[in-house]
Amino acid sequence: MSIWNGDINIQLLNDLNKNTLGEFMEINFTEVGSDFLKATMPVGNKTKQPFGLLHGGASVALAETIGSVASWCAINRNMFIGVGIEINASHLKAVTEGLVTAVCTPLKVKGKTHIWDIRIFNSKEELCCVSRFTTMIISKPYTLK
């Protein structure tokens, strides 16, 4: 049984990235499972730090992007939005090139807070970063475009 509210598809998720940090960083949603999302991000000039490694902040931006979208997928989108209230990340392995893939799965998706486990892998499918992201579900204050 799916944890998502309604029909969630790749096109819908990628359309959310238009004119956002996600689009600038070339984050691309690639898979929707019944209880997970996957997204990729290239390791390049936009995402590297001065020493040629994937910037830890870029990994965190990828984690927060996929986690925020996951909360959005799980709620009544006509009434609520999910806003990030806490994120942490442990960077386990340096990445210098290629594509990283984030896999977002739920730890808790009920009530006013959602907690997501996000694991980021390099092109060799080696674990590079582990993140935990918490969103607070709030009443929708405005219409999203």
At residue 88, the pLDDT reads 98
User: Strands of 37-42's sheet, edge to edge?
Assistant: 28-32, 37-42, 99-110, 113-121, 127-139, 80-91
DSSP code of residue 97: S
- At the topology level, CATH places domain 10-139 in Thiol Ester Dehydrase; Chain A (3.10.129)
Average pLDDT per consecutive 10 residues, the chain (145 residues; last block may be shorter): 95 96 97 98 97 98 98 95 96 98 97 97 98 96 58
For tokens 């486990």, name the residue. 117
64 is catalytic: yes
Using alpha carbons, select from 30, 20, 34, 53 the residue that is nearest to residue 129. Answer: 53
Q: Which residue of the set 64, 86, 125, 126 is catalytic?
A: 64
